[in-house]
Chain A
Amino acid sequence: MTTQSESLNSQPSTLNFPLSEFLQQLLNGLSLGAIYALIALGYTMVYGVLRFINFAHSDVFMVGSFIGYYAGKHVPERTYWGGLLVLVVAMLGCALLGMLIERLCYRRLRGSATLNVLITAIGVSLLLEYSGQVFFGATPRTFPDIFPSTNFAFGSLVISSNQILVIVVATLLMVALQLIVYRTKIGTAMRAVSLNPKAAQLVGVNNDIVISFTFGLGSALAAAGGILYAINYPSIDPLMGVMPGLKAFVAAVLGGIGNIPGAALGGLLLGTVETFVNGSQWSTYKDAIAFAILIGILLFRPAGLLGKFTVEKV
């Protein structure tokens, strides 16, 4: 009798299961994708003005969450103002770090071979990772609960307030970025440098300041991504940036590198796809799927989903 009634009770839930499971995965995917999008924006902006991939970006993301870890100890836990304060401190700290990296390493190499800049970027990335291992220690740490968190349940669908927070903060930052790039003087200068650095210089744009600002802006977004990532996956270590960084780069390429809405779209798409793969039977191939997407997109649509295809001029 009991077994029969149990099977009868479970009947409706198995029918509902796929839809709520689908929505749950979609929500998880979107919140992960929003973080990827934030990191991807930094890659895409730096690529826009300097035409190179800033490998160290993923480690700025890591430094962002470590700044959050240390700053989080000095504010009361589970308060909105405390959490926002930590977010702002991390963003400012990483903006400074990004500008410092640009000033010390990349500026001297401007105009030299692409390969040299690429190798330097890899060097900076490794330096940040392994100095992190020495200074912060290699063992993972638990990120403090800086924001108040509750779970809302709609039937079997569980939405955590942190997921909503991630999506809201990421959306606000992306809107702010869009306003900076299209509505302010420095944003116009950024677009000018991206279009043609020499011509921009001729009409009075100070390229050094613009590039420095771009690094600062991108790094601040990476720091925000780092904090939001650490809130949802509260275990941080010095090598945590590598995988999200690579995936965010894939997201930037997917959307069309150098294209800001493209980076956002690519991030959301990639996060969703990855979460669905993670929930399926092929979950062990989760890390490979991003690279498979990268290879596919580079082969079939190298300009990305929203990018324009350009012919190389000699």
Chain B
Amino acid sequence: MSLRFPPSPNSRHGTFRIRVYPCPSVVKNSGSPTIPVPRPHLYLLAALLVALGISQFSDRIDPYFLDVIIGIGINIILAVSLNLVNGYTGQFSLGHAGFMSVGAYLAAAVSLFLGPKILGEAGGTALQQGLMFLAALVAGGLGAAFAGLIVGVPSLRLKGDYLALVTLGFGEIIRVVFQNVEFLGGALGLNGIPAYTTIFWVLAFVALSVFVVTCLVHSTYGRGFLATHDDEIASESVGLNTTRYKIVAFVIGAFFAGTAGGLYGHFKMTITPTGFDFTKSIEIVVMVILGGMGNTLGVILAAILLTLLPELLRPIAEYRMIIYSLMLIILMLVRPQGLFNFKFGKAKL
């Protein structure tokens, strides 16, 4: 850092440097000097170990409880990844479910059509299955990221309302295309997807998505996302390529939406195009808004709350969407910074 930006107070870089938060991952002296691994990476490692530890005891956990936790985890990945686009970068995407569906279909296709060829008829060992699943998830994520790139490059030149509608439109187009592709089951969807999703994979990808988004936003590069959110014209005039930031946010968001889709498909074992419609996108958007846009912790809490709420409100399930919509309106009127934004006083975003 200090090598790239010489600490001369008069240079343009110097003045710019003052406004830039240093990335936590490059802050020195955070621990004992013998450990070269930065702190967020340690957190990630710890989270992965915890996930591995919990998965050892997953047989003893009540299956219903386990299902709810997996549902929560998938929603956290979706909400945290959308938060990078809608919260930190300030673009309003309404097509997250579309990217989720791309990931879900691609991952399901990999383990349905390629899986038997690679693993053989016997199905392979647990380790082979795990690697196969990882490959399927990554393929799903990359496919979704590619879809995000295709959607993002043309549409991110638009702002606000228009972007919202174009992303919504793309989400619908993706759905219509899946409904018409016979190879992927058409309107009936894909069935018999192997149930690879375990608590370990869900927790691991939750940790990974939170890690990537947090580190990215707090890095020197990532400050550009916040700058794009705060004032696009001002950011452009100091030389930031805001379109590029928007596309990067979109592609990374789409990648994690795709992996979440892959996890979802291998959890439910069946996917249909209508499962990823506009309502699903809205559900994810509500999580981001409820948690406070640009606030990862709040968004995680909101994802947990909104996954538990339908479980608790099962007797009045028909009123669920009414409650969601009223929540949106009242939040915007009374507390636009989100329910779980604990920064009192002046709202940060």
Contacts and interface: CB of A to CB of B under 8 A. Distances in A.
Contact of A134 (B172, B177, B319): B319
Given A127-B322, A295-B166, A288 B176 contact: yes
Given A114-B160, A115-B92, A134-B319, A294 B333 contact: no
Given A120-B333, A284-B176, A291 B162 contact: no
A242 B169 CA distance: 12
Interface stretch (B2-10, B64-72, B119-127, B323-331): B323-331
B162 A284 contact: no
Interface stretch (A18-26, A104-112, A191-199): A104-112
Interface in A280-298: 284-285, 287-288, 290-292, 294-295, 298
B180 interface: yes
B332 A119 contact: yes
A55 to B, nearest CB: 9
A314 interface: yes
B173 interface: yes
A126 B289 contact: no
Interface in B308-335: 318-319, 321-322, 324-329, 332-333
Contacts of A288: 172-173, 176-177
Contacts of A299: 154, 157
Contact of B326 (A118, A127, A242, A298): A127
A129 B322 CA distance: 9
B332 to A, nearest CB: 4
A105 B168 CA distance: 23
Interface string B158-195: 10111011101110110011011000000000000000
Q: Categorize the interface residue count of chain A.
A: 35 or more
B90 interface: yes
A233 to B, nearest CB: 20
A123 interface: yes
A298 B328 contact: no
A53 interface: yes
Contacts of B166: 291, 294-295, 298
Contacts of B170: 291, 295
Nearest to B177: A288
7 tightest A-B contacts by CB? A123-B328, A291-B169, A126-B325, A130-B321, A127-B325, A123-B329, A53-B161
Interface of B: 90, 92, 154-155, 157-158, 160-162, 164-166, 168-170, 172-173, 176-177, 179-180, 233, 278, 282, 285, 289, 318-319, 321-322, 324-329, 332-333, 336
27 contacts: A52-B161, A53-B161, A53-B165, A109-B333, A112-B336, A115-B90, A118-B161, A120-B329, A122-B282, A123-B327, A123-B329, A126-B324, A127-B325, A127-B326, A127-B329, A133-B318, A133-B321, A246-B172, A287-B172, A288-B172, A288-B176, A291-B166, A291-B169, A298-B155, A298-B162, A302-B162, A314-B233
